Amino acid sequence: MSAIQPPEERVWWKEPIAPIEITWILIAFVWCLFMFIMMPYWHIFGKQNLANEAYRSTPELFTAKAQAMVDKYKVREETEQAIPVVRPPAGSDVYLVARLWQWWPLLELEEGQTYRLHLMSLDWLHGFSLQPENINIQVHPGYEHILQVQPNRAGTYSIICNEYCGINHHTMAAKLYVVKK
Amino acid sequence: MALNRMFRACPMTGLKVHEPTEALIKANAVAAVVSLAVGGVLALLITLTRWPAVHLLPPDWFYLLLTAHGLNMLIYWIIFFEVAILYFGSSLLLGCRLATPRVAWFAFWLMVLGALMNNYAVFRGDSSVMFTSYVPMPAHPTFYLGLILFAVGALIACFVFFGTLVIAKEERTYNGSVPLVTFGALTAAIIAVFTIASGAIILIPTFMWSIGLVDSVDSLMYRTIYWAFGHSAQQINVSAHVAVWYTVAAIIFGAKPMSEKVSRMAFLLYILFITIASAHHLLTDPGLTSNWKILNTSYAIYLAVLASMVHGLTVPGAIEVAQRKKGYTRGLFEWLRKAPWGNPVFSGMFMSLVGFGFLGGISGVILGTEQLNIIMHNTIYVPGHFHATVVIGTTLAFMAITYFVLPAIFRREVSFTKMAQWQPYIFGIGMTMLALFMMGAGTLGVPRRHWDISFSGNPMGYEFPGAAYLMMGLASIGGVLAVVGGAMYVLIVVHSVFLGKRIETPGFERVRMREGYAPAMQPSGVALQAHGSAAHHAWAAPGTFTLAVVFLASFILYYFVNWKYLATVWPLK
């Protein structure tokens, strides 16, 4: 009798389990349990976790907050489109607008400092992808997502979009500068 | 009685074949292969575009064809084939007439209509929204309507399957419990009902939004419910291809499940713990708490992963026991070395098993770990992972079983036998390369669904390291190889079905309905004595266990490599 025929024993659920199977089930179960525990463990002892902080917002409100930050802390402009570069003080709230097909404004952060980074899209879904760190966060319209980030190495980083957002998706990219104090 | 004339005895398998079922299996399998052929042509164009040195298509065509590729492969090829498996697992394996064949035909044509309508929407050019069609990016209303019609058709097919099980029980065409493979198909069908319901809950409002009846659909709600559909749909595939693994083990080796109880419990775990699996697509989304993410992504302590690990042992374990009984007992692996590697039914199935476990399974669990997802979300690691699960796992298993279906159901000899021997290897190796190198490029941050990772002419662009370009090139070479393997499959199938040598057997006979009745069961007292089979006493499958330990060791090692990598990135809170 094989798997394509009804079980030989009418009361198959009373047959003993082969030792090899029960051993493997136990080993696999312990591993599954371990992997489950690893996630709460990292919340307590690990340094890379996502906050549960997010708020409903509107494009107008979020743009206004970002604009206020730009007006206050702009240090220079870059490229022909004169994209502002903002250097907010350490520990402050930093706003990054995602929209078709741009990250706005450009940010300049200090190494080793902690910032409250606010992410939101004004239109469709976008994907915040910080390279070469490879930190990837989903960005929604209408949800202001707040992450506490602590850049730990100075350098020029790129933010690219890794959630498909239409025909110019592949052009959506920005710089993020991390400078020494 | 009209029904009497509609069965034939299959001399090859001994099955009693209900002829309307046979016709439905053929129709669904043909629709599946047509979808695969379309998806395969698109695959070639897409892989040649993501090959940095070739970069074939312009961006609008790339995004359009990528959308069409996902839909035709992941939905139409696989689900048409799964409907065929449901009819096979119920009517054929139980020797029972199919419930309401006319309704089953209606379901089939509804699915065809839905698939055509959805493809029409994509090829119009205004619905390049990808397989996932996330709102608020809009598609043409026929995009959603096509999907809904297809889903309704698939749902009807599930209920035809359930009805057939009821008839088989009622008309006593089998004794005791349904075969394990039927049980697996039942698992797939139950998950399918949940899946399609979730799809309806989100796609119907989205359709109404697209025609202006609803103001807006929340993007987070869409993603949350969509993935209860999108991911559970992949769990249908897992149940279906695991059922195919057991089928192949039974057909090729006459292998008996090591224990019915364990294998059935593992299938049951899929139903109980997979349906909440939408969470691991949402691990970096705002608005959901970590508690929710952890509980749901691990499907309550990874019991569905446990289920797959169990099948990963019991299927080759059953084969090993059967082979050892035939005398292949030398060493740990003689049973495996002496397996029929030249038979595509076996070689395809075994590569599906190994590839699904080692590549797809391990990468899937790691992607689905809350914090590890941060360093992989939406990178090309994700398509690397699901090409290992859905293509090496599901598609290759379906290709393998096709080489059995051609003679058994279509009554045609497999054409180009030499090519058929090579086909699973070429397809499997190509797809393995594609999956591995995509994952490699993903760990370097290469995004998925992206036309130009060189950001040419963009002063804000990012310069990926040379290794990323190298891996994208190698992935594409693997992709081209897999397309060649896929084309061989389509060629063999089409040629066999239309021009293959007809199998006329002297044993062919129509059977009367009453011969469908199962013989009376042995008194259980006697039968219970008989379970002293090899599987239950000794350490029956040491080779398989060794392979399982190797698997676990790779799993653990790779799991910690990823945590180590995560620990080096910027602290986040």
**A68 to chain B, closest Cα gap in Å:** 23
Has residue B518 got a pLDDT over 70?
Answer: no
- Burial-class residue B506 by CB neighbours within 10 Å (0-12, 13-18, 19+): exposed
Q: Average pLDDT in the B410-419 region?
A: 94
Contact yes or no for B180 and A3 at CB 8 A: yes
Q: With DSSP H G I counted as helix, E B as strand and the rest as coil, what are the percentages for chain B, rounded to 5?
A: 70, 0, 25
The partner residue sitting opposite A42, judged by closest CB among B176, B223, B371, is: B371
pLDDT band at B278 (very low <50, low <70, confident <90, very high): confident
Average pLDDT, chain A: 94
**Mutation for testing the A interface, residue in B222, B244, B378 having most A CBs under 10 Å:** B378
pLDDT band at B2 (very low <50, low <70, confident <90, very high): very low
Average pLDDT, chain B: 91
Closest Cα in chain A to B539: A20
pLDDT band at A1 (very low <50, low <70, confident <90, very high): low
Q: In this predicted model, which residue has the larger pLDDT, B350 or B6?
A: B350
pLDDT band at B540 (very low <50, low <70, confident <90, very high): confident
Output the DSSP codes for B437-506.
Answer: HHHHHHHTTPBSS-S-TT-TT-TT-----HHHHHHHHHHHHHHHHHHHHHHHHHHHHHHHHHHSPB---T
pLDDT band at B273 (very low <50, low <70, confident <90, very high): confident
Q: For residue A42, say if its preceding peptide bond is cis, omega within 30 degrees of 0.
A: no
pLDDT band at B164 (very low <50, low <70, confident <90, very high): very high
Q: In this predicted model, which residue has the larger pLDDT, B383 or B232?
A: B383
Contact yes or no for B219 and A142 at CB 8 A: yes
Contact yes or no for A5 and B179 at CB 8 A: yes
Has residue A97 got a pLDDT over 60?
Answer: yes
Has residue B394 got a pLDDT over 90?
Answer: yes
- For position A67, which CATH number holds? 2.60.40.420
Closest Cα in chain A to B293: A39
Closest Cα in chain B to A32: B302
Contact yes or no for A1 and B375 at CB 8 A: no
pLDDT band at B9 (very low <50, low <70, confident <90, very high): confident
Q: What is the pTM of this model?
A: 0.94
**Mutation for testing the A interface, residue in B297, B462, B558 having most A CBs under 10 Å:** B462
CB A22 within 8 A of CB B317: no
Closest Cα in chain A to B253: A2
The partner residue sitting opposite A15, judged by closest CB among B180, B251, B531, is: B531
**Mutation for testing the B interface, residue in A117, A170, A172, A175 having most B CBs under 10 Å:** A170
Contact yes or no for B310 and A24 at CB 8 A: yes
Closest Cα in chain A to B262: A17
- Burial-class residue B87 by CB neighbours within 10 Å (0-12, 13-18, 19+): buried
The domain defined by B341-513 folds into: Cytochrome C Oxidase; Chain A (1.20.210)
- Residue where the block lists tokens 């290794």: B467
Q: From CA B435, how far away is CA B476, in angstroms rounded?
A: 10
Has residue B455 got a pLDDT over 90?
Answer: yes
B448 contacts in chain A (CB < 8 Å): 162, 164
* C-alpha triplet A64, A65, A70: angle, nearest 5°: 95
The partner residue sitting opposite B447, judged by closest CB among A19, A51, A160, is: A160
Q: From CA A173, how far away is CA B48, in angstroms rounded?
A: 24
- Residue where the block lists tokens 């020494």: A180
Range of the domain at A113: 54-179
Contact yes or no for B567 and A46 at CB 8 A: yes
**B537 to chain A, closest Cα gap in Å:** 7
Task: Specify if A11 maps to a domain.
Answer: no
Contact yes or no for A143 and B286 at CB 8 A: yes
Each residue of B310-324: pLDDT tens digit? Answer: 999 999 999 999 999
The partner residue sitting opposite A3, judged by closest CB among B250, B374, B563, is: B250
Closest Cα in chain A to B448: A162
CA atoms within 13 A on the CB side of A67: 6
B378 contacts in chain A (CB < 8 Å): 127, 129, 136, 138, 162-163
Reading the block at residue B398, the tokens are 């379906």
Rg (CA), chain B: 24
Q: Which residues pair with A86 in a beta bridge?
A: A74, A107
CB B175 within 8 A of CB B520: yes
Q: Average pLDDT in the B48-67 region?
A: 96
The partner residue sitting opposite B294, judged by closest CB among A3, A40, A129, is: A40
Q: From CA B403, how far away is CA B18, in angstroms rounded?
A: 20
**Mutation for testing the B interface, residue in A22, A26, A35 having most B CBs under 10 Å:** A35
Sequence ranges of the domains in chain B: 1-178, 193-237+245-339+537-573, 341-513
The partner residue sitting opposite A135, judged by closest CB among B261, B451, B570, is: B570
Closest Cα in chain A to B174: A6
Q: Average pLDDT in the B394-403 region?
A: 97
Q: Average pLDDT in the A69-88 region?
A: 94
The partner residue sitting opposite B93, judged by closest CB among A4, A145, A160, is: A4
Q: Domain tally for chain A?
A: 1
Beta pairing class for A106-110 and A83-86 = parallel
Q: Average pLDDT in the B236-256 region?
A: 94
Q: In this predicted model, which residue has the larger pLDDT, B171 or B119?
A: B119
Closest Cα in chain B to A169: B450
**pLDDT for residue B280:** 85
CB B431 within 8 A of CB B478: yes
Closest Cα in chain A to B366: A35
Each residue of A15-68: pLDDT tens digit? Answer: 888 899 999 999 999 999 999 999 999 999 999 999 789 999 999 999 999 999
Contact yes or no for A36 and B302 at CB 8 A: yes
pLDDT band at B4 (very low <50, low <70, confident <90, very high): very low
Pairs across A and B, CB distance < 8 A: 322
Q: Average pLDDT in the B398-405 region?
A: 95
Has residue B122 got a pLDDT over 80?
Answer: yes
Task: Specify if A154 maps to a domain.
Answer: yes
**pLDDT for residue B302:** 86
DSSP H helix total and E strand total for chain A: 2, 12
- Residue where the block lists tokens 């379901």: B107
- Residue where the block lists tokens 């008839």: B167
pLDDT band at A165 (very low <50, low <70, confident <90, very high): very high
pLDDT band at B530 (very low <50, low <70, confident <90, very high): very low
Each residue of B456-468: pLDDT tens digit? Answer: 989 999 999 999 9
pLDDT band at B525 (very low <50, low <70, confident <90, very high): very low
Has residue A10 got a pLDDT over 90?
Answer: no
A161 contacts in chain B (CB < 8 Å): 447
Q: Which residues pair with A131 in a beta bridge?
A: A158
**pLDDT for residue B69:** 97
